[in-house]
Every structure is written in structure tokens, then in C-alpha cells.
A and B are shown apart, each in its own frame.
Chain A
């Protein structure tokens, strides 16, 4: 009963988000802000799958985003794929990278976070290496100017966001999600209870990387010109982790609220007083890690209000 209600609420929220983002460009003309907001929401939901449900903190999550952006771009440049399929190639590219990184899941806690960070940096240095200029253009960036189409890519981003939300709803209200949560609590007990720990966490990892890759692919399409430093920037990982934590991990709406509140706030500071941007965002992280470590949704949960 609880699950049925949760799924209905969850799908309702997804529908609401879709309708909102379809209508918002009519009243608010800064579509690049809206696009980035959707992008961060999708990434936050993607990270939520692995961090919120299994407890692995992927500090190098941006590696999948960058891998997706580059796979999509290379599919367009060398194989002349239509952009829509290239975005899918981006997702698959990141998924394959995710499969290569599966052995990292054997590590726990800080070891995993560090190893994942190192893995994403290694990817960055490989892609940005001037020796590979013929393939990845090295550090000089990629230009996809002839397929630039902000209108269509906006809606593709929206559908990716919807896809990530539906995935999270499914995980949160299924036996599979329960299995993941038990892995988060205690791996040994979970496997004693008959859960195939390596398989379940690898599936979550794959889904998570796939969503990041799709987002990377559509980002490449939307901005059309980008550099390895922009799509492999550690800042993206940290933003997304902070958004998810700020909202509340392991929920559907937490990452959405976190992204909405904090990304708007960052954007506001970035425009009004850019010189204090880094300072205020650092301070915000500190305050929030010390005082609301379980996210804003935990305040509701404490009062007995269940949020999907």
C-alpha cells in the first residue's frame, strides 16, 4: 500500500516537473539556466542511485559525465551519427567506462571515493593529452557548431531528467531498492540474507553511470563547444554531491530540491558578486556539513511526514 502510494506520488511529481519545464521557457527566458538546472537535477538523481541507495560516494562522478560528452561528440564527428543517437552513444560510452571501473566497488568508504576521484582524473588526463589530438583534439576542445540546436536539446534534456526520476522511483519503491539499502547498512549481513551484493551494486553503478553519460551527451549537444577542463571539472562532482546531500539522500524529491535551491543560489551569487562565489559556496558546504548533515528532508521526516 505504502509502495503504491509512493509510486503514484512519485509519478505525479515527475509529471509536474515535466509540465513546469515545458512552460517555464515562456515566462523565463534564461533557458541556459533552466537547461543547467535540469542537467544538475538529472545528475543529482543519477548520483543518488549509487550514493543514496548503496552508500558508495563517487567523488569522480564527473568522469562519466565527461566520458558521455566525449563519446557523443566523437560519434558525431567521426561516425556522423544524428545528435539524438549520439546522446545515446554518450550514455553507452559512460556505461562502458562504468563497467571498467566496477572493480573499484570492492573498496569501501574513503578508499572508494579516492580511487574513483583518481579514475576520473586519469580519464581527464588521457582525453586532454596532446598526443591524442587527432582523436579527442587534446586540450583544445571540441566544436560541434554545425549541429547546434538549443531548442531540441532542451527537450531531450527534459526527457533524460524524467527518465532519471522514473528510475529513482522504481528503485525507491521496489524490492531491488530494499536490497540496495541493505547493502548500504551492512554488506555482510545483506549477503547473508541472500542478496547477491556484487550483482546488485554493479547494476546500480551501471544505471548511475548511464544517466551521467546521457546528461554529458546532451550537454555536448546543447553547448556545442566545450573543453576537457569543462566536462571533467571536479566542481561538477562536488556540486552534485552537495546538492544531493543538501536535499536528502535516498529520496526522489531531495536531489530535486537540493539542486533547485543551491543551483539558484549559486547562480544568483555568480551573477551579483562573482568574487565571493567560491567563498560563499565553501562556507555553505561547511555550515551544512556541520548542522544539517542528513539534508533538509530529514527535518520533515523527523516530524513524521514521509516524502517520496
Chain B
């Protein structure tokens, strides 16, 4: 029981690290709260469903498609909303309201086109592809799809890490995170770099949506709000603006959820919220964070 919960929790946690990743990137770079984050996860899921039923695409093929589509989408979205918001008196609070509006619009459009239904892609799809349906780790048996998702998440983390720490673009992005004005003064094209980071954030969210069917089950138009809150828990658990922190936050969250489901299943829903309040009150800068917020 315990080893199942722990190992399953780690795989779950890797996935949840990916769920929080996009939100953390956007918050870190723009100091803005993308309340529509969960809705982009939902969009990724609907894209996967649509391509699967229309063309029979395997989710693994959908991954590059969704990355390109949402990267461009996020890039354009940045230019529509963010520069204007930054001119207002209180961008942080206003972004809250604005992106809530965006999330409602996304949800409404999806409901208009697909109806207010649950959708899913059969979880046996990877079993058919690889001709194995389960795998065994330390005497516990897990579905093969979990392994596929875990590997995909690790690849995504490595890519984001490389982008962040080993490219010129990532260097500029980190400069903006440290101080937007000083980055501007030192000749960085702040808007372009931020727009790319915004796109990467949205693309990471959509990737979590592509993988979502195999970890969190069916997708539905209003799933966004809960996912956004869960993502917040994860990035606050780690550290805001630190991608490595998000992975660790995800792992803690995944293991905690699995343990909760094993031992107190009826109270699982409350856990993310209580965990979030607890962490935010005890250590608002996150487990890996440096103290930045004054109280």
C-alpha cells in the first residue's frame, strides 16, 4: 500500500509539476496571474480529443502540434493584453480580473462548439501502441500510460531547463524576472522576450492537457478553475518564479494526494486548499524560495 502510494505519487507528482509549470513561468516573468491557466490545460485536452477522433492521431503526435499552436497563441495573446495592463495603476490585481474574463470566454466558446460534456481518449491507446498494458516497479503494477506521461514530463522539464539556463533567450528571460526596468535599460527587447515566455507558459499548460486524460481522467469545459487552484498550490509549494521549485512542489503534491487517497479518501478534495493556506502562511516564499515578500 505505502510503496504503491509513494511510487504512484512520484509519477503523479511529475505530471502535476508540468501542470504548474506554465503558470509559474508567466508569474515569474510578468508578475501576472494567469487565472485562465487551467483553461489552457482544458484546451490542450480538447485539441487532443478532437485530433484523435477526427484523424486518429495518437496523443504523442499531438504533443508537437499543441506546442506550436499554443506557443503562437500565447505569443499573440501577450501583445493583446499585457502591455496595456502594465500601464494601469495596479497590474497585478487587474490581471486577476482580466484573465478571469479570458477563462470565461474560453470556457463559453468550448461549450458552444463541443457542448457541456465530458470527453475522454481511451487510456488503452498507449497499451496498443507499445503492446504492453502495465509495468511493474518494486512489486507494484502501474498502467503503461503513467510511464509514458512521466517520461514526457521529464523531457519537458529538461527542455524548459535548457531554455532557461543554457540559451541566450533564457538568460534574457531571467534578467526580466529579476528586474523588468533594468532589463529594459540594458537593451533587452523586454516585450518580445516576455511574449515568448508567455507562449512557452501557455504551451506547457496545453501539454499538461494533452497528457491529462491518462492522469486525471475525463476532460470537461469547466475543469479550469480547479486546475488553476491546484497549480497555485504547486507553484507556491515550490517557489514562485523557479522552475525547479515547481517540479518539487508537484512531487510533494502528488505524493500527498496519493497518500490521502489511500488513507483518507473522502477528504482528498480539501487537501490542496489546506496545503496552500498552510504553506502560504508559514513560508510564503515557497520551500526553495529566497525571502522576497515583506509582510
Residues of A in contact with B (beta carbons under 8 Å apart): 55, 57, 59, 103-104, 106-111, 113-115, 117-119, 121-122, 125-126, 129-131, 234, 238, 241-242, 245, 275-279, 281-286, 289-290, 293-294
Contacts and interface: CB of A to CB of B under 8 A. Distances in A.
Contact of B98 (A118, A121, A285): A285
A129 B273 CA distance: 14
B266 interface: yes
A122 B232 contact: no
A106 B293 CA distance: 11
Contacts of A119: 273, 277
A289 B101 contact: yes
A111 B98 contact: no
Contacts of B47: none
Nearest to B109: A279
B229 A117 contact: yes
B92 A107 contact: no
Interface string B254-295: 000000000000110110111011001100100000000111
Interface in B79-132: 81, 84-85, 88-90, 92-94, 96-98, 100-109, 111-112
B33 interface: yes
Given A115-B281, A129-B270, A289 B97 contact: yes
B202 interface: no
B280 A111 contact: yes
A266 B107 CA distance: 17
B281 A57 contact: no
Given A119-B273, A129-B266, A293-B89, A238 B280 contact: no
Given A238-B100, A279-B108, A284-B101, A107 B269 contact: no
A115 B98 contact: no
Contacts of A103: 281
A234 B94 CA distance: 17
B105 A279 contact: yes
Given A119-B277, A293-B94, A107 B104 contact: no
A282 B236 CA distance: 27
A285 B284 contact: no
Interface in B156-176: none
A122 B277 contact: yes
B101 A279 contact: no
A266 B253 CA distance: 38
A137 to B, nearest CB: 16
Interface of B: 33, 81, 84-85, 88-90, 92-94, 96-98, 100-109, 111-112, 225, 229, 232-233, 236, 266-267, 269-270, 272-274, 276-277, 280-281, 284, 293-295
B277 to A, nearest CB: 5
Contacts of A111: 280, 284, 293
B273 A121 contact: yes
Contacts of A234: 225
Q: Return the 3 tightest CB-CB contacts between A and B, nearest first.
A: A285-B101, A282-B104, A279-B108
B101 A282 contact: yes
A241 B112 CA distance: 26
Contacts of A115: 276-277, 280-281
Contact of B270 (A55, A106, A126, A290): A126
B92 A110 contact: yes
Nearest to B97: A289
Contact of B280 (A55, A107, A276, A278): A107
A125 B294 CA distance: 31
A130 B98 CA distance: 35
B101 A286 contact: yes
B231 to A, nearest CB: 10
A241 B98 CA distance: 12
Contacts of A125: 269-270, 273
B93 to A, nearest CB: 5
A301 B213 CA distance: 52
16 contacts: A57-B96, A106-B281, A106-B295, A109-B93, A114-B33, A122-B273, A125-B273, A129-B269, A245-B97, A278-B104, A282-B101, A282-B104, A282-B105, A285-B97, A285-B100, A286-B105
